[in-house]
């Protein structure tokens, strides 16, 4: 009996040693046995060939555009009180607040010289602006110029070998196109979200003075401001700017400034340090049945006004007043461009060159009248709380 038990224990020891060697050196030999013992058949996908991605993957545009999207950290200098070190001052007024207000945002590198497009509200009132690249490099940025009317700002950093994004063509964009939003939401780090173009030419939202937004359902959250909206080719189509939200987070309605607008603003800031726009000094209102009745304007019949903007107020000694425009006039056309609403009038007047006369077609007393007007430069906007 002892001999049988000794042989059994020896065989068990040998089998365990063999199992240990196989499990260590060739574990795949045991997978089929383990699966059969558990009663399951496991199927494992083969590794994908090098360079291929699953159908529908957006990794290519994300990898192309992401290196050019930066994080922006802003801070304000300490407001040092001269009595802050006085013990009696501290006894009566408490310890001074040593914290610096800070902000987070995003930006996009648009030139090898280190120019970065972002939102004006991201860097407004900041004393220090730190830019963090996706490769970990950091640099302090200087402000080339800002344009509060479109909420855009242009920065520059003193670094070389920078990743630069390719600017897209917004005229080729259509509703339903797939887009990616890239930025640094809530300071968690660079994040890519996807969606589609929900609408084009959104205006009269009360966000900026001049509005022509791309609307998208790609998730945009606080911290994404100034980041990139790119197409499936990784080309920059817009600068993410605002969201509609009741909770503070994304609800599927985000807005981006088209790159066509951002490019024009950037060129003006590089050339002049500011954006120069035309201004005529009027208070316009959209043509409505109530206003038409108030100013006795025809909305029906042969001479009915199909479109235009009612002038409800004229600034004294302004360009419009000097040209003879009166309250109650309806501006129908600026130059050769018809005026459909207040947004149209603002954009068309802004495109006029200050000091260069322009023709305006108006409606007054049941007849059309052409006036020659010399626009002035648009005054700097007053600061508004966001």
pLDDT in tens, 252-270: 788 999 999 999 999 999 9
Q: Please tell us whether the domain made up of 60-156 is placed in CATH 2.40.10.10.
A: yes
Residues 6+ apart with CB under 8 A from 234: 60, 61, 62, 63, 64, 65, 165, 166
Edge-to-edge strands, sheet with 69-75: 138-140, 128-132, 69-75, 102-109, 115-119, 152-156, 142-147
Q: Which of 71, 106, 225, 250 is catalytic?
A: 225
Domains of the chain, by residue range, sit at 60-156, 170-272, 278-377
Catalytic residue list contains 151: yes
Q: Which residue has the higher pLDDT, 20 or 96?
A: 20
SS3 content of the chain, % helix, strand, coil (to 5): 25, 30, 45
Asked if the model's pLDDT at residue 234 lies above 90, the reply is yes
Q: Which residue has the higher pLDDT, 88 or 18?
A: 18
Round to whole Å and give the CA distance between 284 and 294.
15
Residues 6+ apart with CB under 8 A from 324: 371
What CATH architecture is 170-272? Answer: Beta Barrel (2.40)
- pLDDT score at 220: 87
Catalytic residue list contains 121: yes
Q: Which of 66, 71, 149, 151 is catalytic?
A: 151
**Fold that domain 278-377 belongs to in CATH:** Pdz3 Domain (2.30.42)
Round to whole Å and give the CA distance between 24 and 27.
6
Catalytic residue list contains 9: no
- pLDDT score at 91: 47
pLDDT in tens, 96-151: 554 555 678 999 999 999 999 999 999 988 889 999 999 999 999 999 999 999 99
Q: Which of 106, 121, 329, 343 is catalytic?
A: 121
Asked if the model's pLDDT at residue 68 lies above 50, the reply is yes
170-272 has the same fold as 60-156: yes
């Amino acid at each position: 009996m002892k001999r049988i038990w000794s042989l059994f224990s020896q065989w068990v020891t040998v089998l365990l040693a063999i199992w240990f060697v196989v499990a260590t050196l060739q574990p795949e030999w045991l997978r089929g046995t383990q699966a059969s013992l558990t009663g399951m058949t496991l199927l494992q996908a083969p590794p994908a060939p090098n360079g291929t991605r699953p159908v529908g993957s957006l990794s290519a545009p994300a990898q192309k555009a992401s290196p050019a999207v930066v994080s922006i950290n802003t801070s304000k200098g300490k407001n040092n009180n001269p009595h802050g070190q006085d013990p009696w001052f501290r006894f009566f007024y408490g310890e001074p607040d040593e914290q610096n207000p800070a902000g987070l945002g995003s930006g996009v590198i648009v030139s090898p010289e280190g120019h970065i497009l972002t939102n004006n509200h991201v860097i407004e009132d900041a004393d220090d602006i730190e830019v963090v690249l996706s490769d970990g490099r950091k640099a302090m940025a200087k402000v080339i110029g800002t344009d509060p009317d479109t909420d855009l700002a242009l920065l520059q950093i003193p670094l070389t070998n920078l990743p630069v994004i390719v600017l897209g063509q917004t005229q080729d964009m259509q509703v339903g196109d797939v887009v990616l939003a890239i930025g640094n939401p809530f300071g968690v780090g660079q994040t890519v979200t996807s969606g589609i173009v929900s609408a084009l030419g959104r205006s009269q939202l009360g966000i900026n003075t001049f509005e022509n937004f791309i609307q998208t359902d790609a998730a945009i959250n606080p911290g994404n401001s100034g980041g990139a909206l790119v197409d499936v080719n990784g080309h920059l189509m817009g600068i993410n700017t605002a969201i509609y939200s009741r909770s503070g987070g994304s609800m599927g309605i985000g807005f981006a400034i088209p790159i066509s607008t951002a490019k024009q603003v950037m060129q003006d800031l590089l050339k002049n340090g500011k954006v120069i726009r035309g201004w005529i000094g009027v208070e316009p209102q959209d043509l409505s049945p109530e206003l038409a009745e108030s100013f006795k304007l025809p909305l029906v019949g042969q001479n009915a006004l199909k479109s235009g903007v009612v002038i409800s107020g004229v600034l004294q000694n302004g360009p419009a007043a000097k040209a003879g425009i009166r309250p109650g006039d309806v501006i129908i056309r600026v130059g050769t461009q018809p005026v459909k609403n207040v947004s149209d009038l603002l954009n068309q007047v802004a495109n006029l060159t200050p000091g260069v006369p322009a023709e305006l077609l108006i409606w007054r007393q049941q007849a059309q009248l052409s006036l020659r007007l010399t626009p002035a430069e648009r005054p700097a906007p007053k600061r508004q709380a966001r």
